[in-house]
Structure 1
């Protein structure tokens, strides 16, 4: 993260409008897709039936659930340091906008590009931050998704 040594709850407003960083790549493999299907009960064939998806899917194989890709935003944003070191906690606070742009094929690698859109102080050491997240797919022109996410930082 640029200027990470200055990134803190006290100075966070100075980072509004800036890219905070880009996470490392993470693989969305079939095992992860299957685990998500098991956990959520969403076992639609396009996600979990490898043979059928190879035959019938317009994507040539299985794809990750949209909500699986959405769930990757928080840990990848934490990887780049969204939660400042002087925060005692960072909590999901909500979503303002989500658009699923490109399916993530099983085995693809994704990363999160994060920019700080706004900061709202709430008192008691609480700060609401809004970030723009772009989940990029290695080798694809369009991202998997874009999302404006909200987090509450607690000082």
Structure 2
């Protein structure tokens, strides 16, 4: 289904999307470490913290950063002339480890959508990242997006 920011309030409480399964690898984690300066040459020491998973552990912040890509790939949103801004997070919980080789997918529920002011729609989604075969999700993140229509924005 295609959504517009204006019709999102009519879909509060509904699942907006479910992504495909994505396999995460050690290379994904290494690339994320490079992009976020989590590497020995920047830290001045080894980045290992003695966890039992070693380099197989996928960072929670890598999982969180995947929200944008999964939303853009799987959420059919027609913005017209509007644009979206990351407005922040209300709550994030990392509930179980994700290891290299695991496959994850994202389910997104619309929690709240209301016009903040003319031309500005504030949207809150609950994003639940599941690991294939696991009983509990790996991550739950309540994410706020602000959609701005420059044609009607009064700010």
Match of 2:141 among 138, 144, 147: 147
Alignment of 1:127-142 (within 5 A): 127-142=121-136
For 1:2-151, what aligned pairs fall within 5 Å after superposition?
Answer: 4-5=1-2, 7-43=3-39, 44-45=47-48, 57-59=51-53, 62-81=56-75, 83-86=77-80, 88-151=82-145
Task: List gaps (5 residues or longer) in structure 1.
Answer: 47-55
Point out where structure 2 has 5 or more consecutive residues left out of the alignment.
40-46, 150-155
Q: Is the 8 A contact 2:58 2:97 kept in 1?
A: yes
Relative to 1, partners in 2 of residues 1:152 and 1:83: Cα closer, same or farther, differing over 3 Å?
farther
> 1:54-108: CA deviations, max 9, x gaps?
xx75348611111011101121122222643435312211000000011110121
Q: Between Structure 1 and Structure 2, how many residues are aligned?
A: 142
CA distance in 2, matches of 1:146, 1:120: 22
| RMSD of Structure 2 on Structure 1 (CA) | 2.0
Q: Give the TM-score normalised by the residue count of structure 1.
A: 0.81
